Amino acid sequence: MNILIWIIQIVFIPIMSPLCVGIIRKIKAKLQNRKGASIFQPYNDLKKLFNKDEVISKDASWVFRYAPFVIFSVTIFVGMSVPIFMSFVNNTFTSDILVIIYMLALGTFFLALSGLDTGGAFGGFGSSREMTMSALAEGGFIFSLLTVSFIAGTTNLLAISNVGILQHGHLLLSSILAFISFFIILLAENTRYPFDNPSTHLELTMIHEAMILEYSGKRLALIEWASSNKLLIFISLGSSLFFPWGIAGALSLSTILFGLFIFCLKVFIFCLAIAVLESSIAKLRFFKLPDLLLIAFILNVIAIILIF
């Protein structure tokens, strides 16, 4: 039974993440009075890319060739380490908040490095923007998880999801501020509005897309898949740490199925919130984005001060 649980934990993120992207696109289309593609279209896009041939620049080094595999592997590693719909799995090392934060940072580093590797202008400024945003978002990300770890009294994500931080009434305001900050970081780390337009290739606005313009075929599929995985990882962190209701705390079929149902419901709510937000606001100018990330950092500082 434990082996089956670990298999579910490992494969859940990569299997479900394209569906998460498809749901967001479908909701945005409905809000804009469009029919939109099927929610399963991201699976078809990945299948099409995996069946295409690749064109690799002669100037590309091993970094460009192997970065997609590193980036995708990082999302698989993090996906099996974060609490999804169960918290009873014994994982005392890879589920630590600092391990998760810096493994995600490793993936970002290789993505930015691959954008620089071929020497293209688009990849260069995309990598520059990506590292700027990541450096500014890192503090807010660490402090938002640090806030919930202070409330729970542990840095293990699985143990934090067991505590239920919103049950600490006198620390409710800290939890709310930390979640608002975390949601801002979620949008920044996954290049969503107002930080970036995930569906554009306009020179003046793109960040993520600029770094992967040189990729094609199977390597592009891995990067796009890893991007979907990262989005679902952040949604899993937000739902399991701040709203751990329904998460399975014991090894039984009924609690696991109930936890899976509740988790899917929470993921849908997150997707709905992202889609509504992206349909309601415009992308901010790049030089305005540090102010928003600074707000996220300040909210976390206030949350930590209120704890003590």
Distances (CA, A) of 127 to 20, 22, 116, 209: 26, 26, 7, 10
**Helix spans in the chain (H):** 2-31, 41-50, 62-79, 97-117, 121-152, 157-163, 172-189, 208-211, 217-237, 253-280, 289-307
Contact 162, 244 (CB under 8 A): yes
Indicate if the alpha-carbon torsion angle 51, 52, 58, 59 is positive or negative. negative
Domain extent listing, the chain: 44-307
Instruction: Return the pLDDT at 253.
Output: 79
Q: Which one is predicted more confidently, 171 or 300?
A: 300
Measured CA to CA, the distance from residue 73 to residue 33 in angstroms comes to 38
Chain centroid, CA 302 distance in Å: 24
Query: Residues near 79 by Cβ (< 8 Å), separated by ≥ 6?
Result: 9, 10, 12, 13, 14, 229, 232, 233, 236
- Predicted confidence (pLDDT) at residue 42 exceeds the cutoff of 90: yes
Indicate if the alpha-carbon torsion angle 200, 202, 204, 210 is positive or negative. positive
Contact 19, 270 (CB under 8 A): no
For residues 146-168, average pLDDT: 83
For residues 256-263, average pLDDT: 90
- Predicted confidence (pLDDT) at residue 169 exceeds the cutoff of 70: no
Strand pairing partners for 248?
A: 86
Measured CA to CA, the distance from residue 292 to residue 83 in angstroms comes to 28
Instruction: Return the pLDDT at 204.
Output: 62
pTM (predicted TM-score): 0.94
Summarize pLDDT for 178-219 with one digit per residue, the tens. 999 999 999 999 988 888 887 766 666 677 788 888 899 999
For residues 266-276, average pLDDT: 95
Measured CA to CA, the distance from residue 21 to residue 18 in angstroms comes to 5
**21-30, 152-161, 176-185: segment of lowest average pLDDT:** 152-161
For residues 224-234, average pLDDT: 96
Summarize pLDDT for 84-94 with one digit per residue, the tens. 888 777 777 78
- Predicted confidence (pLDDT) at residue 60 exceeds the cutoff of 80: yes
Q: Which long-range contacts (CB under 8 A, 24 or more apart) does 27-31 make?
A: 27/271, 27/272, 27/275, 27/276, 28/275, 28/278, 28/279, 31/275, 31/276, 31/279
- Predicted confidence (pLDDT) at residue 1 exceeds the cutoff of 60: no
Which among 230, 307, 234, 223 has a CA at the least distance from the CA of 270? 234
Measured CA to CA, the distance from residue 239 to residue 227 in angstroms comes to 19
